[in-house]
Amino acid sequence: MKIAYIVGTYPSPSEQFIQREVEALRELGAEVAVYPIVCEAGFACPWCVLGKHVWLCCLPRTWRAVARLPFGELAALRIKAWKEFVGGLDRASVYARDIKAKGIGRVHAHFATKPAAVGMMIAAMLRLPFTMSAHARDVFADGVALKHKVAAAERVVLCSQAALDDLASKVPAHLHDRLVLIRHGIDAAGYEFSPARTLHSPARLLAAGRFVEKKGLSFLIEAVGALDDCTCEIAGRGPLEARLREQIGQLGLEERVTLPGWLPPEALRAKMGDSDALVVPSSVARDGDRDGVPNVLLEAAAIGLPVVACDAGGVGEFVIDGETGRLVPAGDPEVIAEAVRAVLDERETTRRSAVNARKKVENEYNLRENTRLLFDSLFRPQQDRS
């Protein structure tokens, strides 16, 4: 089975789950060709697109793609819809030529934003089956023409129940049976599990992710200020970095809170092994964006690093308070600080939670099992399914 994967940026430090999925699919025998999208910064009108590639107008496949455009969204001058569909038409045609030349038989898009728009147009151009995966921001906040994209897809994979429920609320009921929950996963066997940890003094906290509002990192920084004996490293990058550094300075935490930037996977894993707790202070952003199940949670659980997390988006699907970690309400620095104290002080409870979290990864977030489920559900030829 040859599959075209239409993605945003590839590989991306904040989306390593896509790279793991592609590698696991290849192990199952799928031939996966990855086609990344580089979104245009400016407004893309049809005259600009067709002016660059006048020959597109003469191709039947172009008009098959145009027939899939969400004309209602475009007529309402939804800028995102214009940028995704009309702005992606030339990219779709270029990729379609390559996909046809390689004899690829299926198109799959990761993210229900521009990759889905480009993917569904490619599928229309070549008369190929189309599926897509949706995740978090693309469902909770950024999605446009979602009913058109879901209607064009045979199946839509969601990686958290929270995202599935939200998407179901935004598309007609007759499309709900196309939505399927298949969680991301990691290969837990590749992570050495060590739940019995000797605490550092001062205690070492770790967080990782993009510096955006939904990650709730400002609440974590304030929580560190309320804790007497700990340091915190926050790995990542993003548009809020300057604001976070300013907050660290205002609270006088320069010696206790550091921002080392993105860490390579091996370096992040090593940092987890040298930390006392992972803190995931997720929140709901003002535009509605929130986390699904952050992959850093799975990696921490796989090695036995205790977890403190905030209940937003799909986080509570993995972190069950008192069972697989500490789960507290979002947006309250003092409550986060209290949970960190409990994890550091109640060592036997923390150890039991770490053991349970590792089992949950193995049972529910198994990379190979979940990728096989994805392959069987979406990509295996119908006649080969049992």
Q: What is the pLDDT of residues 125-143, one digit of tens each?
A: 899 999 999 999 999 998 8
What pTM does this model have?
A: 0.88
Residue 106 zone, left/alpha/beta (φ > 0; ψ -120 to 50; rest): beta
Give dist(CA 299, CA 269) in Å, integer. Answer: 8
Please tell me the predicted confidence (pLDDT) of residue 49. Answer: 46
Asked if the model's pLDDT at residue 246 lies above 90, the reply is: yes
Q: Are 323 and 302 in contact (CB under 8 A)?
A: no
Show Cβ contacts of residue 306 under 8 Å, excluding neighbours closer than 6 positions: 197, 276, 277, 278, 300, 325, 326, 343, 350, 353, 354
| Mean pLDDT estimate for the chain | 90
381 by Cβ neighbours in 10 Å (0-12 / 13-18 / 19+) ranks as exposed
Q: Kindly state the average pLDDT of the residues 28-39.
A: 87
Q: How confident is the model at residue 10 (pLDDT cuts 50, 70, 90)?
A: confident
CA–CA distance, 167 with 381 (Å, rounded to integer): 27
Please check the confidence at residue 63 and state whether its pLDDT lies above 90. Answer: no
What's the confidence (pLDDT) of residue 162? Answer: 97
Alpha carbon of 381 to those of 104, 129, 364, 374: distances in Å?
Answer: 13, 11, 25, 13
Chain position carrying tokens 């349970």: 356
pLDDT score recorded for residue 50: 45
- Which stretch of 40-44, 186-190, 278-282 has the lowest confidence by average pLDDT? 40-44
In terms of Cα–Cα distance, which of 350, 351, 347, 314 is closest to 330?
314
Query: What are the C-alpha distances in Å from 265 to residues 22, 46, 50, 65, 295?
Result: 17, 41, 42, 39, 12
Rounded Cα gap, residues 72 and 69, in angstroms: 9
For 6, 8, 138, 251, 295, the CA distances from 34, given in Å and listed in that order, are 6, 10, 19, 45, 21
In this model, does residue 385 exceed pLDDT 60? no
Whether the per-residue pLDDT at 39 is higher than 60: the answer is no
User: Once rounded to an integer, what is the mean pLDDT over residues 333-350?
Assistant: 97
| Residue 48 clears pLDDT 90, i.e. is over it | no
pLDDT for the residue 56: 52
Name the 3-class secondary structure at 117: helix
Eight-state DSSP code of residue 85: I
Q: Which residue has the higher pLDDT, 53 or 185?
A: 185
Chain-centre distance for alpha carbon 160: 10
Residue 382: per-residue pLDDT: 57
Q: Give me the DSSP letters along 141-174.
A: TS--SHHHHHHH-S-EEESSHHHHHHHHTTS-GG
Vertex 360 angle, CA 355 and 361, to 5°:
100
The answer to whether 186 and 20 have CB atoms below 8 angstroms apart is: yes
Max Cα distance, the chain (Å): 70
Q: How far apart are the first and last CA of the chain?
A: 17
Confidence check: pLDDT of 383 > 60: no
Residue 33 above 50 pLDDT?
yes
Place 55 in a pLDDT band, splitting at 50, 70 and 90.
very low
Structural domains in the chain plus CATH codes: 2-185+366-384 (3.40.50.2000), 189-364 (3.40.50.2000)
3-class DSSP assignment, residue 367: helix
